[in-house]
């Protein structure tokens, strides 16, 4: 079916807690948005229905129908086979081998492209930000620091997915041989255990118990109903020079720097981009410290000239990246046929 | 100049201490060899003359002249720009920006291809060993464990060189945040400091001083004139279950496993190949322990199905890889023109 009036794509950011959908045009303007909770505990079919409903909501806002969209791009939180659109493994959704792409494609009668969420974010940053820099980087590692830490790898201008579609698992790079912190993966000393938001908050809580006192963070949390540490608290505590938070966020920067140096030594990419919730919340504090750690630890002949930048796409990296996935996949398909 | 009778290439393995040259045919049979000391302390021109002399010696042995060789491939110990044939930086030779390819090409009147030695080794292993396996791996990391540790990266069947032509510096992957061993690069905790031969021997010496005793290695060294620990001593001490050597070589395997898991998580290649002097001397002991460490540390969905093998090319990896460089570069040139 040729769609003559189809001028848009839908970008979907499918996360463990929420689903964001947006109608996006070929100049990457976001024309409408919809948001739903994911509810993975209710099973695969419910989640797929909710994805479909969020897409319909975003279309409806613009008075559009299925016929107006050329393709759907989806970033999913796990291992994906982009050829079949299958989510092979997504621990946060408790999914194994779910044919997400096929299900939605059948429902909407439109091509659906499925890719790992961090790869999608990296694709978005690459196409919407880095292609504008000169010289254009051809190999890029996009590192997203949020609850956990993941990365996407671009080689020769294309996503590099690896043997099991899991290339970029930088969060589980071991950085401490023996005594490292316990990580969710079962190992010790992974980058994520030190520098992911979950790891950071755990460490802050442990330190606060040790130093029962009157730090800015103690006072802030006393005022909150649930006493939970959120990114805004960490950012504010940093601003108020809370000693525990300052020390531990400095360590986040140090470990991130160490991991990035390992990437620069091993892959020697043209650029490294940092994004994700932690960078959005206190990237201004972290970034100069990461640069310092890289300067101190990196071998100059290996690291010289590699761009290190933060993405400006923010929360929209997911939906915009999914739109890039959709538009570039369509273009590749046209080129092939 | 078309060379009608040119049926051979010369592969050169230019190291910090010795130069190996070999005449090799298109079926990768080594027809003659020559060996010279490098003598880097005598300056660039002397080294280049010695490379030329070793090539001439290998040719002369077969009664061949310059007219009989189609190209020369050279693996050099440092950063190389393969487009220009320039050695950009080679600490072991004390070279910076030396146009090795141009000098030799002028002298021999034949194309000369220059590439980093570890890249050349990886290229050799890829073309002569891995292309025979099924399915053929498309992305490979070749790790060479010798005095130091380096690696070469193949992506989509091609060498990936990186921004500064230094991709693959796995020897300087930091594996220990704070208390790691001092490395030659100035950092602490690099893989090479734990698992390279130089690092291993340093650690053995330090431990022997602590435990002044009557271990098998103590006895072996007492019989040697120079009391220097060589690979053969380590291998024999392992065989005799020397407690110090056994413990430290077990640690070599553990750190190698840790670094390989980091590579499998980050790059997720189809295959990882281990080679180099240390693997040749006691790879039979190390390999099963590396596999165990990978099994214990690796995330199964990321590491499953990635081949881990040892190369059988041994000492010839350098000259054979250089021949692969020459033949494949010639083929690429023919294809372009």
Chain A residues inside the 8 Å CB shell of B269: 162-163
Give the pLDDT band of residue B4 (cuts 50, 70, 90): low
Chain A / chain B CB contacts < 8 angstroms:
145
pLDDT digits (tens, 9 = 90+) for A194-240: 999 999 999 999 888 877 677 888 888 888 877 788 888 999 999 99
Cα–Cα distance measured from residue A200 to residue A279, given in angstroms and rounded to the nearest whole number: 13
pLDDT digits (tens, 9 = 90+) for A89-139: 999 999 999 999 999 999 999 999 999 999 999 999 999 999 999 899 999
Above 80 in pLDDT, residue A3? Answer: no
Angle between helices B277-297 and B231-239 (to 10 degrees): 50
Mean of per-residue pLDDT scores for chain A: 93
Q: Do B267 and A162 touch (CB under 8 A)?
A: yes
Q: How many CB atoms lie within 10 A of CB B67?
A: 14
pTM for this one?
Answer: 0.95
Give the pLDDT band of residue B101 (cuts 50, 70, 90): very high
Chain B residues inside the 8 Å CB shell of A95: none
How many helices and strands, by DSSP H and E, does chain B display?
Answer: 11, 13
Q: Do B265 and A173 touch (CB under 8 A)?
A: yes
pLDDT digits (tens, 9 = 90+) for B124-147: 999 999 999 989 999 999 999 999
Of A262, A304, A305, the CB nearest to B174: A262
Cα–Cα distance measured from residue B117 to residue B128, given in angstroms and rounded to the nearest whole number: 16
Q: Are A173 and A264 in contact (CB under 8 A)?
A: no
| Whole-number Cα distances in Å, A168 to A269, A318, B256, B266, B267 | 13, 17, 20, 4, 6
The pair of three-digit structure tokens given for residue A50, joined into one six-digit string:
């909710």
Chain B residues inside the 8 Å CB shell of A254: 177
Q: Do A172 and B255 touch (CB under 8 A)?
A: no
**Location of structure tokens 């504008």:** A132
Cα–Cα distance measured from residue A13 to residue A116, given in angstroms and rounded to the nearest whole number: 10
A250 in contact with B, Cβ within 8 Å: no
- State mean pLDDT over A181-195: 88
Give the pLDDT band of residue B202 (cuts 50, 70, 90): very high
Above 90 in pLDDT, residue B270? Answer: yes
pLDDT of B46? 97
Q: Which of A32, A191, A322 has the alpha carbon at shortest distance from B266? A: A191
Of A89, A161, A175, the CB nearest to B301: A89
B164 in contact with A, Cβ within 8 Å: yes
pLDDT of A219? 85
Residue A98, SS3 per DSSP: strand
Chain B residues inside the 8 Å CB shell of A133: none
pLDDT of B221? 83
Say which residues have a Cβ less than 8 Å from residue B296's Cβ, sequence separation at least 6: B257
Q: Are B155 and B120 in contact (CB under 8 A)?
A: no
Q: Are A69 and A10 in contact (CB under 8 A)?
A: yes
Q: Are B69 and B108 in contact (CB under 8 A)?
A: yes
Instruction: Choose, out of B77, B136, B157, B162, the residue to mutate when testing the contact with A (most A CBs < 10 Å).
Output: B162
Residue B166, SS3 per DSSP: coil
List residues bridging with B23 in a β-sheet: B10, B32
pLDDT of A184? 83
- State mean pLDDT over B247-261: 96
Q: Do A167 and B262 touch (CB under 8 A)?
A: no
Give the pLDDT band of residue A170 (cuts 50, 70, 90): very high
Say which residues have a Cβ less than 8 Å from residue A212's Cβ, sequence separation at least 6: none
Helix (H) or strand (E) holding B221: helix B216-222
Cα–Cα distance measured from residue A81 to residue A90, given in angstroms and rounded to the nearest whole number: 12
pLDDT of B230? 85
pLDDT of B216? 86
B193 in contact with A, Cβ within 8 Å: no
- State mean pLDDT over B318-329: 97
Q: Any idea which of A300-304, B5-9, B253-257 has the lowest mean pLDDT?
A: B5-9
pLDDT of A178? 67
B191 in contact with A, Cβ within 8 Å: no
More confident call, A197 vs B337: A197
Residue B12 phi/psi, 5° resolution?
-120, 130
| Whole-number Cα distances in Å, A134 to A137, A270, B244 | 8, 11, 54
B167 in contact with A, Cβ within 8 Å: yes
- State mean pLDDT over A235-259: 94
Q: Sheet holding B140-145: strands in order across?
A: B158-159, B149-155, B140-145, B271-275, B307-310
**Percent above pLDDT 70 for chain A:** 97
Cα–Cα distance measured from residue B256 to residue B264, given in angstroms and rounded to the nearest whole number: 12
pLDDT of B2? 52
Chain B residues inside the 8 Å CB shell of A268: 161-169
Q: Do B155 and A153 touch (CB under 8 A)?
A: no
| Whole-number Cα distances in Å, B80 to A214, A264, B74, B95 | 57, 17, 10, 11
pLDDT digits (tens, 9 = 90+) for A9-31: 999 999 999 999 999 999 999 99
Chain A, residues 218-237, CB within 8 A of chain B, namely none
Q: Are B152 and B123 in contact (CB under 8 A)?
A: yes
Q: Do B169 and A265 touch (CB under 8 A)?
A: yes
Cα–Cα distance measured from residue B308 to residue A138, given in angstroms and rounded to the nearest whole number: 29
pLDDT of A212? 67
Of B89, B258, B266, the CB nearest to A177: B258
Nearest-CA distance from A88 to chain B in Å?
A: 10
| Whole-number Cα distances in Å, B11 to B28, B274, B322 | 10, 21, 5
pLDDT digits (tens, 9 = 90+) for B104-130: 999 999 999 999 999 999 999 999 999
Q: Do A79 and B187 touch (CB under 8 A)?
A: no
B302 in contact with A, Cβ within 8 Å: yes
Q: From start to end of B194-246, where are the E strands?
A: none
pLDDT of B228? 84
Phi-psi bin for A255: left (phi > 0), alpha (psi -120 to 50), beta? Answer: alpha
Q: Do B169 and A302 touch (CB under 8 A)?
A: yes
Q: How many CB atoms lie within 10 A of CB A253?
A: 21
A268 in contact with B, Cβ within 8 Å: yes
Above 60 in pLDDT, residue A2? Answer: no
Q: How many CB atoms lie within 10 A of CB B1?
A: 6
Cα–Cα distance measured from residue B119 to residue B318, given in angstroms and rounded to the nearest whole number: 10
Chain A, residues 3-62, CB within 8 A of chain B, namely none
B166 in contact with A, Cβ within 8 Å: yes
Above 70 in pLDDT, residue A4? Answer: no
């Amino acid at each position: 079916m040729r769609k003559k009036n189809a001028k848009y794509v839908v970008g979907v950011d499918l996360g463990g807690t929420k689903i964001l959908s947006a109608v996006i045009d070929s100049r990457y303007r976001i024309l409408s948005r919809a948001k739903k909770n994911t509810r993975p505990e209710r099973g695969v079919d419910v989640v797929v229905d909710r994805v479909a409903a969020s897409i319909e909501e975003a279309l409806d806002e613009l008075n559009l129908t299925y016929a107006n969209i050329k393709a759907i791009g989806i970033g999913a939180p796990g291992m994906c086979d982009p050829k079949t659109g299958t989510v092979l493994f997504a621990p946060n959704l408790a999914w194994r081998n779910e044919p997400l792409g096929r299900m939605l494609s059948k429902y909407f009668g439109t091509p659906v492209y499925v890719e790992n969420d961090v790869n999608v974010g990296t694709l978005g940053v690459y196409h919407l930000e880095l292609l504008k820099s000169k010289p254009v980087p051809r190999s890029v590692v996009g590192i997203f620091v949020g609850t956990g830490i993941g990365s996407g790898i671009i080689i020769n201008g294309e996503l590099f997915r690896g043997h099991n579609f899991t290339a970029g698992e930088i969060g589980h790079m071991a950085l401490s041989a023996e005594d490292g912190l316990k990580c969710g993966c079962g190992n010790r000393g992974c980058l994520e255990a030190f520098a992911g938001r979950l790891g950071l908050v755990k460490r802050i809580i442990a330190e606060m118990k040790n130093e029962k006192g009157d730090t800015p963070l103690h006072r802030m949390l006393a005022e909150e109903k649930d006493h939970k540490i959120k990114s805004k608290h960490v950012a504010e505590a940093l601003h108020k020079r809370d000693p525990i938070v300052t020390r531990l966020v400095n360590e986040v920067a140090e470990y991130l720097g160490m991991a990035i140096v390992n990437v620069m030594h091993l892959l020697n990419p043209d650029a490294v981009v940092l994004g994700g919730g932690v960078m959005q919340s206190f990237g201004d504090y972290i970034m100069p410290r990461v640069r310092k750690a890289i300067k101190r630890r990196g071998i100059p002949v290996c690291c010289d000239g590699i761009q290190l930048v933060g993405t400006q796409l923010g929360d929209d990296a997911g939906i915009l990246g999914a739109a890039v996935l959709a538009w570039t996949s369509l273009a590749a398909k046209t080129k092939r046929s």
